[in-house]
């Protein structure tokens, strides 16, 4: 199958590499010239576990191409996937569809033969109808089905999720399009292909992300309760998760959810609900409580550190396994501390450069964790990288100025740290 993917970002690039690995001829199209130039030189434009090896393999096999040209990518394609951004509008927070609309308009004239155009970007309900109208306006003769094919991958696990999806949701009434998608995923024997109508498919994506965000907010709310009551949130989450109706995933309390998706998609869902005159207080409360969490974390760190403290931050990405700092709780917490003129040095295994683009030289950056913690008055763990738990904490206890740790991800061994003389505070445990 010839597949064109429009948008070579955190979704488009791993998906393109994945489809090429399945044996398809894949054209990744992006209008960011420097991105395409880098990829054509063999330089990856983002960090994602396991991506590099598959990228190199498929480029070598001649199945993976990068281009800025719509005509080169779309001509003779059986499937065109739209994977451009749908960022929040700065004021209304609704999903901004300008990139989707531009992509639809730009791809339309180049369609040849029967083509399925699939929207993989997360888009408001009814966007499929808009994309269809645009494509028909700019190519009235096109033999095309416009379907919804939402993406459920997680950053950091994008390659794993591509090859092991729990479900593939397809929104279309066209049997021809359904057959093409069945053929595309023919080797995914254990994955449920769920065919629904286009609007249901668009809704499933928002409904899923909003539900997960609510679940995270719930466990963080419970963590606040544990901090007063003396229970331990990790034990509580383990006990809850043993009930299969609740499930043991997405119960890790932390500094609030971040990333380019949950904050954006909960806000877009809330906006959509208002447009339809529906109230969704669960979602609205989740948004408000999650928005308040970085300030709470910042205040805890500052209250442990004292005036003029040197604060060593471990972790800048919004989660482990990625260099993505978009709406990262770590960045938000740092920004809150900077409002109080905090002196911060930070280290992230992958995200120092992404963070530098947001924070500039308002903080210092270290090349490794030991460089960050040297002479620190407090260490704040803000991203759940496994390597932070594996640091030589005995060595660190001899390097810091004061032995204070605020573990916002509950990944360190508090007992060992206390034995080493650290004052250790984490999420969802009563401070000693
Ligand atoms: P991204 O910003 O990383 O990538 C989008 C890319 O599209 C950019 O490289 C941009 O240059 C390109 N682009 C924009 N307009 C274009 C055009 N007209 N022609 C060609 N290229 C164009 O975004 P992302 O994180 O990959 O997200 C894309 C969509 O997928 C969003 O709707 C997002 O909500 C959704 N999504 C993201 C994830 C995730 O983990 N990041 C997971 C599931 C769904
Ligand atoms: C999320 C969803 O998990 C994906 O299914 C979806 O495709 C994607 O959004 C999207 O629509 O773009 P992602 O944002 O990559 O994926 O990352 P998650 O693993 O969901 O984490 C989101 C945030 O929640 C992170 O800040 C993470 O640290 C936090 N989190 C996650 C917790 O605090 N506790 C948990 O137990 C899980």
Place of tokens 């990333």: 259
Residue 380 CA to ligand 1 centre (angstroms): 31
Question: Where a domain ends, among 195, 225, 259?
Answer: 195
DSSP lists the bridge partners of residue 312 as 345, 379
pLDDT above 90 for 422: yes
Minimal-distance CA residue to ligand 2 atom 5? 152
Q: Which two tokens stand for residue 324?
A: 């993505």
| CA dihedral of residues 55, 61, 66, 69 (deg, nearest 10) | -160
Q: CA 177 from chain center: how many Å?
A: 28
Copy the structure tokens of residue 198: 């286009």
Give CA–CA dist 364/355, Å, rounded.
11
Domain boundary among 195, 211, 233: 195
CATH, residue 361:
3.40.50.720
Nearest one of 86, 77, 76 to 7, comparing CA atoms: 86
- Give the pTM: 0.96
- 266 and 118 within one domain: no
Do 137 and 243 sit in the same domain of this protein?
A: no
Instruction: Determine the average pLDDT of the residues in 123-144.
Output: 98
Residues 378 and 390 in one domain: yes
If asked whether residues 217 and 184 sit together in one domain, one would say no
Same domain for 278 and 388, yes or no, is: yes
Nearest Cα residue to 310 out of 320, 301, 299, 319: 301
How many Å lie between the centroid of ligand 2 and the Cα of residue 217? Answer: 12
Q: Are residues 141 and 164 in the same domain?
A: yes
Q: Is 12 in the pocket of ligand 1 (CB under 6 A)?
A: yes
User: What is the C-alpha end-to-end distance of the chain, expressed in Å?
Assistant: 61
| pLDDT digit string, tens, across residues 182-210 | 999 999 999 999 999 999 999 999 999 99
Ligand 2 near 427 CB (within 6 A)? no
Domain total in the chain:
2
- Residue ranges making up the domain that contains 214: 197-432
Q: 150 CB less than 6 Å from ligand 2?
A: no
Contact of 294 with 359, CB cutoff 8 Å: no
For residue range 220-249, what is the model confidence (pLDDT) as tens digits? 999 999 999 999 999 999 999 999 999 999
Residues known to be catalytic: 261
Tell me, using a 6 A CB cutoff, whether residue 420 lines ligand 1. Answer: no
Q: Which residues pair with 63 in a beta bridge?
A: none
238/363 same-domain check = yes
Residue 306, pLDDT above cutoff 90: no
Share of residues in the chain with pLDDT > 70 (%): 100
170, 195, 220 - which closes a domain? 195
Output the CA 150–ligand 1 centroid distance in Å. 12
The dihedral formed by the CA atoms of 71, 76, 79 and 81, expressed in degrees to the nearest 10: -10
């Amino acid at each position: 199958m010839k597949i064109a993917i429009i948008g070579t970002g955190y979704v488009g690039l791993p998906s393109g590499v994945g489809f090429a690995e399945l044996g398809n001829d894949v054209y990744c199209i992006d209008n960011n010239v420097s991105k395409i130039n880098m990829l054509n030189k063999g330089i990856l434009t983002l960090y994602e576990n396991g991506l590099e090896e598959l990228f190199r393999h498929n480029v070598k096999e001649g199945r993976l191409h990068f281009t800025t040209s719509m005509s080169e990518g779309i001509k003779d394609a059986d499937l065109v996937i739209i994977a451009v951004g749908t960022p929040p509008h700065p004021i209304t927070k609704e999903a901004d569809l300008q990139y989707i609309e531009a992509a639809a308009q730009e791809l339309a004239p180049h369609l040849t033969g029967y083509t399925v155009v699939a929207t993989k970007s997360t888009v408001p309900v009814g966007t499929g109808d808009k994309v269809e109208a645009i494509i028909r306006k700019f190519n009235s003769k096109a033999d095309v089905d416009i379907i919804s094919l939402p993406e459920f991958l997680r950053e950091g696990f994008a390659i794993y999720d591509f090859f092991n999806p729990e479900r593939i949701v397809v929104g279309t009434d066209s049997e021809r399009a359904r057959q093409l998608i069945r053929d595309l995923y023919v080797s995914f024997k254990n994955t449920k292909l769920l065919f629904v109508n286009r609007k249901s498919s668009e809704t499933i994506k928002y409904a899923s992300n909003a539900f997960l965000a609510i679940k995270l907010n719930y466990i963080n709310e419970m963590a606040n309760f544990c901090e007063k009551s003396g229970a331990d949130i990790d034990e509580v989450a383990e006990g809850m998760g043993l009930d299969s109706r609740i499930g043991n995933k997405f119960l890790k309390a932390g500094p609030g959810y971040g990333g380019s998706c949950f904050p954006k998609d909960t806000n877009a869902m809330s906006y959509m609900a208002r447009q339809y005159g529906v109230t969704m207080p669960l979602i609205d409360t989740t948004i408000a409580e999650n928005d308040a969490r970085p300030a709470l974390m910042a205040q805890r760190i500052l209250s442990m550190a004292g005036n003029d403290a040197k604060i060593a931050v471990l972790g800048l990405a919004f989660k482990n396994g990625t260099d993505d700092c978009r709406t990262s709780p770590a960045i938000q917490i740092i920004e809150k501390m900077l409002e109080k003129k905090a002196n911060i040095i930070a280290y992230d295994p992958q995200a120092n450069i992404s963070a530098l683009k947001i924070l500039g030289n308002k903080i210092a950056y270290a090349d490794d964790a030991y460089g960050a913690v040297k002479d620190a008055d407090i260490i704040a763990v803000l991203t759940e990288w496994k390597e932070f738990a594996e640091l030589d904490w005995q060595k660190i206890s001899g390097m810091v100025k004061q032995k204070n740790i605020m573990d916002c991800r509950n990944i360190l061994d508090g007992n060992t740290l206390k034995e080493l003389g650290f004052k250790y505070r984490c999420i969802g445990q009563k401070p000693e």
